[in-house]
């Protein structure tokens, strides 16, 4: 091991717990049959095992809604931990294709999907941010209200998201001190609010990424992401085509043949954290596949999904007994 590598290890290990990737796994995780399927949004009132659309009173009559899923073991005399999710680009709340169900299996957790409020206040924005202030305000009002009405434990609320939703974990979820206090833990998957990639923000908003990061304080954050090419190709489609063309059936073979690196490394997430908040409570999980679509990937029974679920359980242990 060279001196430079030793220095890198000494920098990274004090503030991150890093999980190694599994040796035996396919590079295209979607070749593993799904063991779960996201629930379909239903009409009517919330009920155990049912997902419905709701909205805050001020948005009645608009398309700005949130989705509420009550777990199959829900009852009105119990308190449940809550997963609050923001979706990736192209998805609205009503499209309902997030990662929350894969991370819970539909049991033990209330799952909420929040909107990105459009600039005109009438729609749930499917692409980037819409009105950031309105989106932040929606979360500040909706999360406590949902906890109060449906038995969510306000001390056990975990913010999650993939792709755009992963960036939103910090960009929206740590936008100010008040919203940052809502979360017991945070899980961004596949991208990060990193201060140097535009992510459709203004230069001033990018500049405040380090300030947002420091609002984590002691809040634990699990940062996960797939492997990608160097340089990135903008989509996992070219990699999936190469994997099929070259008949690569193991992740290790694809990693070597295609020169894959963790997205957390390629996008500078690790470096950004080391430079701006090295004392934070971070866990990094580099996923051993190339798929960017976490909402589908986490519907598969993989060792990595088990690790994320284990981390969540550690965060919310004994939550039902909290007063």
What would the mean pLDDT of 72-87 be, rounded to a whole number? 96
Query: Is 4 part of a structural domain of the chain?
Result: no
> What token pair was written down for 218?
């002691």
For residue 116, what are the domain limits? Answer: 10-321
pLDDT of residue 72: 97
Question: Do residues 202 and 132 lie in contact, with contact meaning Cβ atoms separated by under 8 Å?
Answer: no
> What token pair was written down for 208?
């405040």
Q: DSSP label at 175?
A: S
> What token pair was written down for 30?
């979607």
Tens of pLDDT, residue by residue over 181-199, are: 999 999 999 999 999 999 9
Tens of pLDDT, residue by residue over 234-277, are: 899 999 999 999 999 999 999 999 999 999 999 999 999 999 99
pLDDT at 322 over 70: no
Question: Do residues 137 and 59 lie in contact, with contact meaning Cβ atoms separated by under 8 Å?
Answer: no
Confidence of residue 317 (pLDDT cuts 50, 70, 90): confident
Question: Do residues 65 and 54 lie in contact, with contact meaning Cβ atoms separated by under 8 Å?
Answer: yes
Q: DSSP label at 75?
A: -
Query: Is 3 part of a structural domain of the chain?
Result: no
Please return the burial class of 196, using the count of CB atoms within 10 Å of its CB with bins 0-12, 13-18 and 19+. exposed
Q: What are phi and psi for residue 267, nearest 5 degrees?
A: -85, 0
The answer for 87, left when phi > 0, alpha when psi is -120 to 50, beta otherwise, is beta
Q: Considering its fold, how many domains does the chain have in total?
A: 1
Sorted by sequence, the CB contacts under 8 Å of residue 120 that are 6+ apart come out as: none
Query: Is 209 part of a structural domain of the chain?
Result: yes
pLDDT of residue 159: 98
The Cα–Cα gap between 74 and 160 comes to 21
Q: What is the CATH number of the domain that holds 132?
A: 3.40.50.1820
Alpha helices in the chain (DSSP H): 3-12, 100-104, 132-150, 164-171, 177-180, 203-207, 209-214, 237-246, 251-258, 263-266, 269-276, 294-297, 303-316
What would the mean pLDDT of 87-100 be, rounded to a whole number? 95
Answer whether the bond into residue 98 is a cis peptide, omega within 30°.
no
Helix (H, G, I), strand (E, B) or coil at 57: helix
> What token pair was written down for 152?
């969510």
Span between the terminal Cα atoms of the chain, in Å: 51
Query: Is 2 part of a structural domain of the chain?
Result: no
Query: Is 1 part of a structural domain of the chain?
Result: no
Query: Is 316 part of a structural domain of the chain?
Result: yes
């Amino acid at each position: 091991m060279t001196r430079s590598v030793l220095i890198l290890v000494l920098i990274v290990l004090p503030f991150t717990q890093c999980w190694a990737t599994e040796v035996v796994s396919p590079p295209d995780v979607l070749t593993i049959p799904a063991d779960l399927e996201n629930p379909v949004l239903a009409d009517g009132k919330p009920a155990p095992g049912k997902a419905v659309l709701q909205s805050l009173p001020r948005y009645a009559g608009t398309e700005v809604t949130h989705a509420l899923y009550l777990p199959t073991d829900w009852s009105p005399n119990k308190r449940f931990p809550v997963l609050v999710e923001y979706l990736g680009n192209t998805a609205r709340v009503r499209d309902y294709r997030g990662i929350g169900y894969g991370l819970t299996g539909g049991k033990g957790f209330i799952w909420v999907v929040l909107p990105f409020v459009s600039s005109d206040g009438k729609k749930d924005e499917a692409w980037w941010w819409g009105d950031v202030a309105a989106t932040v305000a929606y979360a500040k009002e909706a999360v406590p209200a949902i906890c109060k009405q449906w038995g969510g434990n306000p001390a056990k609320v975990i913010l999650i998201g993939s792709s755009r939703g992963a960036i939103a974990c910090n960009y929206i979820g740590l936008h100010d001190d008040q919203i940052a206090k809502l979360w017991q833990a945070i899980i961004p998957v596949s991208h990060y609010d990193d201060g140097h990639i535009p992510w459709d923000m203004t230069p001033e908003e990018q500049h405040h990424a380090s300030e947002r990061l420091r609002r984590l304080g002691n809040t634990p954050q699990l940062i996960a992401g797939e492997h990608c090419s160097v340089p990135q190709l903008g989509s996992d489609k070219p990699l999936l085509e190469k994997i099929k063309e070259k008949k690569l059936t193991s992740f290790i073979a694809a990693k070597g043949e295609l020169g894959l690196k963790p997205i957390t490394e390629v996008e500078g997430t690790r470096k950004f954290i080391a430079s701006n908040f090295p004392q934070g409570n971070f866990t990094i999980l580099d996923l051993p596949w190339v798929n960017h679509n976490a909402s589908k990937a986490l519907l598969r029974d993989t060792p990595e999904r088990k690790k994320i679920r284990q981390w969540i359980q550690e965060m919310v242990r004994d939550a039902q007994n909290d007063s």
